[in-house]
Amino acid sequence: MKLTPEGIELIKEHESLRLRAYLCPGEVWTIGYGNTYYRDGKQVRKGDVISRQEAEELFDYVVNEFATEVKELIQVPLTDNQFSALVSFSYNIGIGAFSNSTLLKKLNAGNNYAAGKEFRRWVYDKGEVLPGLVKRRKEEEALFFSYTPLKVPDCLPD
- Residues carrying an active site annotation: 15, 24
Residues in the chain: 158
Measured CA to CA, the distance from residue 32 to residue 53 in angstroms comes to 10
b/e sequence 75-105, b meaning 16+ C-beta within 10 Å: eeebbbbbbbbbbbbbbbeebeebeebebbe
Q: Tell me, rounded to whole angstroms, the distance of Cα 19 from its chain centroid.
A: 20
Measured CA to CA, the distance from residue 36 to residue 46 in angstroms comes to 11
Measure the CA dihedral 28/95/122/142, to 10°.
120
| Strands 124-125 vs 29-32: parallel, antiparallel or unpaired | unpaired
Measured CA to CA, the distance from residue 112 to residue 76 in angstroms comes to 10
